[in-house]
Amino acid sequence: MKKIYNGLMGLIVGDAVGAPVEFLERDSFHLTGMVGYGSHNVPPGTWTDDSAMALATVESIARLGVVDANDIMHNFALWLTKAEFTPYGRTFGVGNTVMRALLKYLDGTPAEQCGCPNRGDNGNGALMRILPLAYTDCDDAIIDTVSGLTHAHEISQTACRIYIEIARWLLQGYKLRQVLHKYEIFPIAQKELQRIPAIENCSRDQISSSGYVVDTLEAALWSLLHSNNYRECILTAANLGGDSDTTCAVAGGLAGIIYGIGGEKGIPEGWIAEIVRKDWIAELCESFNKERQKALPILTPEEQERMKFIESCGIYDDEELDEMRNGLIKNIQIEENKNTGFKQICYCFGDGGVYREISIGPTPKGGDYADAYYYDKKHKLTSRETAYWIDIHEMCFDGRMLGTVWGMYGPKYDVKKWMKRKW
C-alpha cells in the first residue's frame, strides 16, 4: 500500500490544509498548520473536489484493474449527483469546466466527447485529479483521454502528462531537480509550460497561484523546490493564496511520494489523523495495489535476488521489469564479466528474438559503464554499444539514457537520438 497511499494521502492532506484559505489574497493571512472552516466552513481534515475526483479515479482502477475513461467518468457523475467519494455526503467546490463537462455527460454525450476544448477551459480541474495514473502503465494517449474527460485543451493535457511523468520518476527514486533537468535537454514544446525547468529560480512574486493549470503546476513545483519536508512544502503552497487547495493538492501528491509518512520530513501523522474517512482511503489504496500486483508471480529467493540486482541498475522501465517477473524473458542470469570484473545481466527474450547482454560497473575515469551486446536468434553479434556516464542513477530515466553531453564518452553517437532510444 505504501507508494499509492503516500502519494494519494499527500494529495488529500494538502487539499485539506489549503481548503480553508482558498480564494484568499496572498499575504492577507498566514497559515501555520491544519485548520478548519474558513472559505468552505468545514471542519479540519475535510477534503474538496480535488481529492474526491482523484479518489473516484482510484476506485475505478482498483475495481476494474485497468484505466477505463468511461468508468472514471461514470464515477465523476456519481460524485456530482449522489455525493459519492465525498467526506460528508455533500458535493461542494465543483469547478465551472468540470460542471459543464459532467452536465454534457449526464445529458447523454459520450464520455470522451464531454471535455471542454477551448483555450479558456484551461483550469486545473484535470491536473488536480490525475495523479493516480502515475501508478499505472498507461501511455500518453490514455492520460490525454482521462484528463480530456473534462479539460480537453492541449495546454491542460500537456500539463497533466508532465505531472504524471514527474511523479513516475519520483516513484523510481529520482530527485525533483534531476527530473526537471531533463526538460533542459529536451525542451517542452508547449510554450506556456517552458518555465518549468528553471521554475526554482523564480521569485515568489513571479509565481501565480490562480486556477489556471500552468500557474498551478508551476506553483506546486516551486513550493516543492523551496522547501525541505512535506509540512513546509504544503504551508509554502497554501500561503501563496488564490486557488490554495488545488496548489496544495498538486504539490502534496508529489511531496507524499518524496517524503512518505511521518518522521521528520513526511506527512505529519497528526494531520493524517484529522482526515475524514481515512480508513476507507487506506482500504481503497490496498485494493488498488492488490489489483495492480495480481498478475505478478511469486518469485523464488534466488529469483528475488536477481530481480533486486536488476532493479538496482536503474536501466529498465516498469514494463521490462514486469516482463522479467512474469517469465516473458527467460534464463535471466547475473554473471561476472571475465574481462572487466563487472557484474552483468544476461537474458534472452521469450520469443527467441534477441539476446541481450549488459555489463555495469565503475570505470577508471570515475564514472559508470554500460556495455550492451545485441544478438540475433542464432546468437550472432549484430551490434555493440558502449557509453560511459558519471552517475547511472542521475543520467538514466525510465530505461532511457537522458544525460548531459559532458557525461558521454566513446563512439560519436548522435547524442539526442541516443538519449531518446530505449535500451
Residue 346 has pLDDT above 60, yes or no: no
- Over the chain, what is the mean pLDDT? 80
Q: Residues 112, 227: one domain?
A: yes
Q: Which helix (H) or strand (E) holds 389?
A: strand 381-389
Q: Residues 227, 264: one domain?
A: yes
* Separation CA 98–CA 156 (nearest Å): 13
274, 293, 312 — which closes off a domain? 293
Per-residue model confidence (pLDDT) at position 324 = 63
Q: What is the grid cell recorded at 140?
A: 500518453
Q: Residues 19, 133: one domain?
A: yes
Identify the residue whose cell numbers are 519520483.
Answer: 170
* Separation CA 8–CA 281 (nearest Å): 9
Q: Residues 327, 188: one domain?
A: no
Q: Residues 240, 146: one domain?
A: yes
270, 293, 316 — which closes off a domain? 293
Containing structural domain, residue 337 = 301-420
Q: Residues 167, 280: one domain?
A: yes
Per-residue model confidence (pLDDT) at position 150 = 98
Q: Within 13 Å and on the Cβ side, how many CA atoms surround 246?
A: 28
**In this predicted model, which residue has the larger pLDDT, 27 or 3?**
27
Identify the residue whose cell numbers are 525547468.
Answer: 197
Q: How confident is the model at residue 172 (pLDDT cuts 50, 70, 90)?
A: confident
Q: Residues 288, 305: one domain?
A: no
Q: What is the DSSP string of 4-17?
A: HHHHHHHHHHHHHH
Q: What is the grid cell recorded at 87?
A: 467526506
Domain tally for the chain?
A: 2
Pairing of strands 329-336, 343-349: antiparallel
* Separation CA 421–CA 365 (nearest Å): 25
Q: Residues 289, 307: one domain?
A: no
Taking only the tens place, the pLDDT of each residue in 36-53 is 999 999 999 999 999 999
Q: How confident is the model at residue 357 (pLDDT cuts 50, 70, 90)?
A: very low
Q: Residues 269, 334: one domain?
A: no
Kindly give the residue spans of alpha helices, DSSP state H, lying in 239-317. 244-259, 269-274, 278-293, 301-312
Q: Residues 225, 242: one domain?
A: yes
Q: Residues 84, 213: one domain?
A: yes
293, 312, 336 — which closes off a domain? 293
Q: What is the grid cell recorded at 56?
A: 473516484
Per-residue model confidence (pLDDT) at position 187 = 81
pTM for this structure? 0.74
* Separation CA 13–CA 271 (nearest Å): 7
| Cβ neighbours of 284 (radius 10 Å) | 21
Please name every residue paired with 396 in a beta bridge, in sequence order, or none if there are none. 401
DSSP reduced 3-state for 336: strand
* Separation CA 9–CA 278 (nearest Å): 9
Q: Residues 288, 335: one domain?
A: no
Residue 74 has pLDDT above 60, yes or no: yes
Residue 109, domain CATH: 1.10.4080.10
Q: How confident is the model at residue 16 (pLDDT cuts 50, 70, 90)?
A: very high
Report the pLDDT averaged over residues 296-320: 62
Q: How confident is the model at residue 289 (pLDDT cuts 50, 70, 90)?
A: confident
